[in-house]
Amino acid sequence: MSVLDDLAGGLVVSCQPLPDEPEDPMRDPYVQARVAAAVVRGGAVAVRANGPADIGAIRAAVSVPVIGLHKRGTEGVFITPTAADAVEVARAGAHVIAVDATNRPRPDGRTFADTVRAVRAHGDALILADVSTAEEGMTAVRDGADAVATTLSGYTSTSPCGQGPDLGLVARLVSLVRVPVIAEGRYRNAEQIGLAFAAGAHAVVVGNAITSPLWITRHLAPATPAAALESEPDG
């Protein structure tokens, strides 16, 4: 039985503060661990988290699987970009390691397949390939990924930049690969989650729409009369 079986048909919640979220208290492992405990109480089947400190604190706070990553910057390959980062995420206690599996150059000059080998040599953590296209997903599976996620669709030059989630990519991956396909990226409501499962998703990840007070407020505040007044030329 794989840890991925625990995710089947469920909601995974990404507990990652935005870079401009107030540092005190949001960008703090203790706070993110409390957020993780709350989403698990609400029904999350797994938690996705960034950085060894948050991963360690969340592992200690919840009993569901943790999908870990290590973001390095915001340009090019930045989700667990190197083999060393992936091993560090495994050491921090992640059950599954999310790794950029796009076909862009990586900062350590190595390949996604090299990262898979490094993780396998370290222990039994699984690899989730974050991709932006179906071709990247197929290549990642050939190179040893245990699951693929649509995380990077809309964030690379080769993928469509829609407002909503890329449900088409979920369906294409489901028809092309034999590993679990995880829907991730811009899922904001129950209807979109239902559509992802209808397209064959194994699990759906929701991040900012659940765990970022900053994102949620920025999303809703423009609907208020006060915001409309402010956006008027004299407002």
Candidates 13, 14, 106, 134: give the one binding ligand LRY (CB under 6 A). Answer: 14
| 128 vs 177 by CB, closer to ligand LRY | 128
d(CA 80, CA 74): 12
Give the DSSP H or E segment for 151.
none
| Contact string 95-134 vs ligand LRY (x = CB under 6 A) | ----------------------------------------
| Contact string 63-102 vs ligand LRY (x = CB under 6 A) | ------x---------x-----------------------
* Choices 89-97, 171-179, 181-189, 195-203 (CB under 6 A): range interacting with ligand LRY: 181-189
d(CA 71, CA 48): 12
Return the half-sphere exposure (C-beta side, CA atoms, 13 A cut-off) of residue 215: 15
Least distance between ligand LRY and beta carbon 97 (Å): 12
* Choices 26-34, 57-65, 86-94, 183-191 (CB under 6 A): range interacting with ligand LRY: 183-191
With CA atoms as reference, report the closest residue to 136 among 148, 125, 127, 126: 148
Residue 78, helix vs strand vs coil: coil
Q: Does 182 bind ligand LRY (CB under 6 A)?
A: no
